[in-house]
Amino acid sequence: MRRFAYCKVVLATSLVWVMLDMFILLYFSECNKCDDKKERGLPGRDGEPRDGPGEGGKPVVIPKENQEKMKEMFKINQFNLMASEMIALNRSLPDVRLEGCKNKLYPDNLPRTSVVIVFHNEAWSTLLRTVRSVIDRSPHTLLEEIVLVDDASERDFLKRPLEQYVKRLEVPVRVVRMEQRSGLIRARLKGASISTGQVITFLDAHCECTTGWLEPLLARIKLDKKTVVCPIIDVISDDTFEYMAGSDMTYGGFNWKLNFRWYPVPQREMDRRKGDRTLPVRTPTMAGGLFSIDRDYFQEIGTYDAGMDIWGGENLEISFRIWQCGGTLEIVTCSHVGHVFRKATPYTFPGGTGQIINKNNRRLAEVWMDEFKNFFYIISPGVTKVDYGDITSRASLRQKLQCKPFSWYLENVYPDSQIPRHYYSLGEIRNVETNQCLDNMARKENEKVGIFNCHGMGGNQKLTLVHVNSNQCLDKASEEDSQVPSVRDCTHSRSQQWLLRNVTLPEIF
């Protein structure tokens, strides 16, 4: 009887312990679930299925009743701020890479990078979505830090609230303040000077990095530190924030006015890569907003031209310098980063946009373009009247680095350039009968040339005259289209006679 009572006590005690174990197990199991829920509330990873505005890179539709408010908010940053604020800071994006890129393997010992992002009165949502996308889609072993350079923003939420927010992030993020409005160029120089990564990656403040964006960039630099690399720049709509993949079949060039332009990748570059579109494209110029460069090489080739102001022209200047001084500039087609492209800038420029860009372009033309700068001055005569400052140190840099002439660049890097390397004459072509001039009417390549009243100001009426053997003659415009010259059988009439007035260089100050 006593043994039976003893057994009951043991059994009851065991049951208590079993129940206690089950309770502890269930408790911690529930806590784990709670932690999962908490983690989902934090910026997540790409693999998590989520619903919400803009997820998967889809466009955001604003209800009709909010359209007026949306238009007012649009003016603040010149993009749809209402749509941006509806989208999660860690929204999911499609994997837009070529299939061949998804299986590429990269070395384990890639250099670490500092990501430098300059902002001025940027929206909270776009700035932090940029930061979150860098953190969430970069291996942390490759991410040294993120440096946010505030170019004298005036909005309160970009002060202490921003500093408090970035302290909680899992990657070191530093906020550096410029004492006064200095512009993109000098702010980037500030960020680069305090960064510590072996590679410096520059991004704009309204970007979104995609899966696998970083490794292919760093791999190219590891292979050759004199290689400067850009991702494919995808388009984030300024109206709907839809994410649209950029083309791997375009590269950077420029026109006679020194405006950056995208052009189709030429056949010679496709042949060099043997048709493999996953290999990097050698590009004559870069857009300038997004690129990675080895820290030591950035210093070696002279960083940015600190004599340039605010923004504009610095992308062509560094592109010319990289190529002419022994480096290589590439678009890495396996790397994609989205960028909000705005139709207008929300910022003001001291002295006006035109004045600043003319000064910057004049500096790059004087230092890097040799005699070909004359084409630019003829097309844009106003540039020659701008005070462009002292370029002695930049000219000395070119001499020190033993950089090649611009003619070499045109022949070997950019033979497709619109700047002719050989020409007979440059000037105005006037019809004897109508007294009107040939004018390209600001049309694109391979589009019809036009006829317009001669204005003597150059620009679109500065044309190169090249003789081509033909059995027909250029004639005045037909009645069907009064703005397009025609080609007819030669009659030697006055309508087929054209006067060429050679252009002289504007007075250069």
Give percent of the chain with pLDDT exceeding 90: 62
Same domain, 113 and 153: yes
Nearby residues of 186 by Cβ (< 8 Å), 6 or more positions away: 178, 304, 306
Burial class (CB in 10 A: 0-12, 13-18, 19+), 418: middle
Residue 14 pLDDT grade (very low, low, confident, very high; cuts 50, 70, 90): low
Residue 363 and residue 481 in one domain: no
Q: Are 356 and 252 in contact (CB under 8 A)?
A: no
- Tell me which of 282, 313, 340 is where a domain ends: 340
CA distances from 127 to 204, 215, 288, 348 (A): 9, 22, 18, 20
Residue type, 269: E
Residues contacting residue 156 through CB under 8 Å, at least 6 positions apart: none
Residue 48 lies in a domain: no
Inform me whether the pLDDT recorded for 416 exceeds 60.
yes
Q: How many CB atoms lie within 10 A of CB 353?
A: 14
Band (pLDDT 50/70/90 cuts) for residue 474 is: confident
The pLDDT of residue 429 is: 79
Q: Is 294 found in the same domain as 191? A: yes
Q: For the chain, give me the number of helices (H) and strands (E)? A: 15, 19
pTM of the model: 0.80
Residue 509 scores a pLDDT above 90: no
Q: What is the pLDDT of residues 26-59, one digit of tens each?
A: 333 333 333 332 222 233 333 344 689 999 999 9
Average pLDDT, the chain: 84
Convert 377-404 to b/e letters by CB count within 10 Å (16 or more is b).
Answer: bbbbbebbebebeebeebeebbeebebb
Find, among 394, 421, 397, the residue nearest to 409 by Cα.
421
Contacts of 415 (CB under 8 A, 6+ apart): 268
Residue 350 counted as domain residue? no
Both structure tokens of 478: 């037909």
Question: Could you tell me if 162 and 236 lie in one domain?
Answer: yes
CATH code: domain of residue 436 = 2.80.10.50
Domain assignment present for residue 152? The answer is yes
Predicted pLDDT at 37: 28
- For the chain, give the percent of residues with pLDDT over 70: 79
Q: How far is CA 299 from CA 195, 231, 489, in A?
A: 13, 22, 61
At residue 457, does pLDDT exceed 60?
A: no
Residue 192 maps to a domain = yes
pLDDT tens profile 101-133: 999 999 989 999 999 999 999 999 999 999 999
For 225, what's the count of Cα atoms within 13 Å in the CB-facing half-sphere? 12
- pLDDT at residue 441, rounded to an integer: 61
**Residue 420 vs residue 507, higher pLDDT:** 420
pLDDT beyond 50 at 22: no
Please indicate, yes or no, if residue 423 is contained in any of the structural domains.
Answer: no
Same domain (yes/no): 374, 447: no
Within 369-464, residue ranges assigned H as helices are 373-379, 392-400, 406-408
User: What pLDDT sits at residue 309?
Assistant: 87
Quick one: 383 and 435 in the same domain? Answer: no
Tell me the H-state helices in 237-387.
Answer: 267-272, 295-300, 314-324, 353-368, 373-379
Task: Tell me: pLDDT of 442 over 50.
Answer: yes
**218: CATH:** 3.90.550.10
Rounded-to-integer distance, Cα 479 and Cα 182, Å: 55
- What pLDDT score was predicted for residue 63? 94
User: 265: exposed, middle or buried (C-beta count within 10 Å: 0-12, 13-18, 19+)?
Assistant: buried
Distance CA 76, CA 60 (A): 18
Same domain, 250 and 301: yes
Over range 166-174, report the average pLDDT.
96
Distances (CA, A) of 86 to 50, 70, 90, 142, 452: 14, 12, 12, 31, 49
328-340/227-236 β-pairing? parallel
394: CATH: 1.10.8.460
SS3 sequence of 154-202: CCHHHCHHHHHHHHCCCCCEEEEECCCCCHHHHHHHHHHHHCCCCEEEE
Please write the tens of the pLDDT for every residue from 329-348: 999 999 999 999 988 887 77
List own/partner pairs for 416-421 with CB under 8 A and 24 or more apart: 416/253, 416/263, 416/266, 417/253, 417/254, 417/284, 418/255, 418/256, 418/445, 419/256, 419/372, 419/375, 420/464
- Judged by average pLDDT, the poorest of 159-163, 445-449, 481-485 is 445-449
d(CA 209, CA 136): 9
Using the predicted structure, report yes or no on whether residue 193 has a pLDDT greater than 80: yes
Question: Do the Cβ atoms of 130 and 137 come closer than 8 Å?
Answer: no
- Better-predicted residue by pLDDT, 272 or 15: 272
Domain identity same for 318 and 363: no
CA-to-CA dists, residue 486 to 29, 448, 478, angstroms: 82, 10, 6
Cα separation values, 332 from 101, 209, 279, 282, Å: 10, 14, 7, 9
Report if residue 345 sits inside a domain. no
Q: Is residue 246 part of a domain?
A: yes
- What is d(CA 320, CA 308) in angstroms, rounded to the nearest whole number? 15
Name the amino acid, one letter, at 323.
Answer: W
DSSP-H helix ranges across 224-310: 267-272, 295-300
**What's the chain's length in residues?**
509
Domain range enclosing 371: 359-413
Task: Verify that 129 and 217 share a domain, yes or no.
Answer: yes
Q: Are residues 245 and 115 in the same domain?
A: yes
Q: What is the pLDDT of residue 229?
A: 98
Strands 113-119 and 143-150: parallel
Q: Which of 420, 417, 222 is nearest to 323 (CA)?
A: 417
- Residues 136-145 have a mean pLDDT of 97
* 19, containing H or E segment: helix 2-41
Q: What is the mean pLDDT of residues 156-178?
A: 96
The mean pLDDT value for 482-489 works out to 72
At residue 483, the 3 state secondary structure works out as coil
Q: Residue 19 corresponds to which tokens in the numbers above? A: 């129940």
Are 490 and 401 within one domain?
no
Give the pair of three-digit tokens for residue 114: 């500092």
| Range of weakest confidence among 60-69, 111-120, 238-247, 351-360 | 351-360
Domains in the chain, number: 3
Question: What does the block give as tokens for 149?
Answer: 């350079």
Q: Say if 197 falls within a structural domain.
A: yes
Window from 38-52, 219-233, 420-434 with minimum mean pLDDT: 38-52
Q: Are residues 229 and 322 in the same domain?
A: yes
